[in-house]
Amino acid sequence: MPTQLKYSTTLAKNTDLAIIVQADKVASVEDLQKEEIAYVQQQVEKEAKIISLNRYSHHLYIVLAPEAKTQNLAQEALRQAGYTLLKQLKANKTEALAILDKTGTNASLYLAEGLYLSNYEFHKYKTKGIKPSSLQTITIADSNINEQTVKELQHVLEAVTLTRDLVNEPHNNQSATQFSENLEEIGREAGFKTEVLDELKIQTLKMGGLLAVNQGSEEPPTFTIMEWQPENAKNKKPYVLVGKGVVYDTGGLSLKPTPQSMDYMKSDMAGAAAVAGVMYAIAKNKLPLHVIALIPATDNRPGGNAYAPGDVLTMHNGMTVEVLNTDAEGRLILADALSFAQKYNPELVIDMATLTGAAARAVGKEGLVAMSNAGDDVMNSLKKFGEQVHERIVEFPLWDEYKKHIESEIADIKNIGGAEAGAISAGKFLECFTNYPWVHFDIAGVAYLLGEDSYRGKQATGSGVRLIYNYLSSLAN
């Protein structure tokens, strides 16, 4: 059962409660008795951040409002406090928690977000020894936060959950076809349209990149189109999202060495999963915005008919590509989706992809790498939302000189660059298939974590969902 996020300003007396308050305002919290205030103040002296009071019928948790350099960082500290608080809730076997904010800054929303995201678990495949988290319900109890805001947040957090579930699903249970069925299921649930193009249709469309990557596979590719087109849409030209849906990346004939680099490559569809999460959130929240999402999906394997280094492909837009490394497959399937997107005359196209190890090496798990031709207004706005949700963006350039990195002797371009600037040569490659405002996100460093990182958890993080949802939501309002 996923965590429930609720809104209610009437609380039963014995409800477990978290109160967020500034350290110097503890004495003015009405709900506290004298001895409790003294105890809390004593703990504050000892630099405690969360102070637990056991009232026997229930627990009271005093969460000190974090001090930080900026409002965004203070909100991030609250999310992280949610992660710390959850450990105490689990220890106390708390099933339901209400949150009250005494700071007047809507702090409950951020604490709830951190709690909710930290409470995610993936134990679908555990047959024994599961100790599910006790926490099932989080109730925001502030009268100055409206119910609508909480509902919207609930849908976004559900979206992150479903993105994480898709990414954590092992490949032996998620072929391209199964993945597209999962996307259809999400569409039914959220109320957006889905259409799955099969191999024959993909051939008819001459998607040479997607077909080549699929050649070594036992399973057919899919191309899923999702669409949310409400009657009250504010935009004439649609926003188009594109997600890399490589359901498993062995590298193909340019095989990845195992164990180091192949073990977690079930996560190579994290861009596609994030796009699906965004579609879920915008449809559930009925954003007045016309949004289309495109998901090319296949696994990348060295099977009998596998495409090979040296091959020249003709892409959906007619360009030719010399393949010099079959492990640079993401850009090939995205290229076809990006040129397919041209037919929608889009306002803006945003792609998300676990595209390069180079992006991960450059900024680690602390940021998303972006490249764009869409101009400063779009990028500045995205960066602003990146700071707000703490999915921070590092912009890399698409300078003309990088075009040299992908020049081919025999075809229009080649699918790899040199030893340097690998994230950019991938971006530069994608740029060749766009003729509209476009932003590319390389999420290779953030999509899947091997160690636990606060409320992002370990394994799939759902990175990108909150960022793109908040950006699109700002365009709708």
Query: Which one of 268, 322, 347, 391 is in contact with Zn ion (CB under 5 A)?
Result: 268
**Minimum CB distance to Mn ion smaller for 83 or for 429:** 429
CA–CA separation, 227 vs 216, rounded Å? Answer: 30
Q: Does 360 bind ligand BES (CB under 6 A)?
A: yes
Residue 399: alpha-carbon gap to chain centroid: 27
Structure tokens at 107: 């702090």
* Gyration radius (Cα) of the chain, Å: 24
Q: Decide which of Mn ion, ligand BES, Zn ion, none touches 279; Cβ closer than 5 to 8 Å per partner kind.
A: none
Q: Of 68-76, 232-240, 350-358, 397-405, which segment contacts ligand BES by CB under 6 A?
A: 350-358
CA–CA separation, 225 vs 210, rounded Å? Answer: 15
Is the CB of residue 267 less than 8 Å from the CB of residue 447?
A: yes
Q: Does 333 bind Zn ion (CB under 5 A)?
A: no
Is the CB of residue 380 less than 8 Å from the CB of residue 434?
A: no
Catalytic, out of 266, 284, 301, 331 = 331
Catalytic annotation on 331?
yes
Q: Which helix (H) or strand (E) holds 353?
A: strand 348-353
Min CB(437)–Mn ion separation in Å: 27
**Minimum CB distance to ligand BES smaller for 81 or for 416:** 416
Catalytic, out of 49, 90, 193, 256 = 256
Residue with CB nearest ligand BES? 357
Return the residue matching tokens 């371009």. 413
Catalytic annotation on 131?
no
Q: Which residues, including other chains, have CB under 8 Å from residue 63's CB and lie 6 or more apart?
A: 18, 19, 20, 21, 49, 50, 78, 81, 85, 111
Min CB(357)–Zn ion separation in Å: 9
Q: Does 357 bind ligand BES (CB under 6 A)?
A: yes
**Minimum CB distance to ligand BES smaller for 163 or for 356:** 356
Q: Does 219 bind Mn ion (CB under 5 A)?
A: no
Q: Does 354 bind ligand BES (CB under 6 A)?
A: yes
Q: Decide which of Zn ion, ligand BES, Mn ion, none touches 325; Cβ closer than 5 to 8 Å per partner kind.
A: ligand BES
Q: Decide which of Mn ion, Zn ion, ligand BES, none touches 357; Cβ closer than 5 to 8 Å per partner kind.
A: ligand BES
Binding-site size, Zn ion (CB under 5 A): 4
**What's the half-sphere exposure (Cβ side, CA atoms, 13 Å) at 92?**
21
CA–CA separation, 301 vs 251, rounded Å? Answer: 7
Residue 176: alpha-carbon gap to chain centroid: 19
Query: Which one of 152, 169, 249, 336 is in contact with Zn ion (CB under 5 A)?
Result: 249
Q: Which of residues 249-278 bind Mn ion (CB under 5 A)?
A: 249
Q: Which of residues 238-257 bind ligand BES (CB under 6 A)?
A: 249
Q: Of 123-131, 325-333, 408-416, 445-453, which segment contacts Mn ion by CB under 5 A?
A: 325-333
User: In sequence order, what E strands does 57-186 have?
Assistant: 59-64, 96-101, 137-140
- For residues 402-439, b (16+ Cβ closer than 10 Å) or e, as one string? bbebbebeebbbbbbbeeebbbbbbbbbbbbbbebbbb
**Minimum CB distance to ligand BES smaller for 58 or for 266:** 266
Which residues in this chain contact ligand BES in the complex, by CB under 6 A? 249, 268, 325, 327-330, 354-358, 360, 416, 422, 444
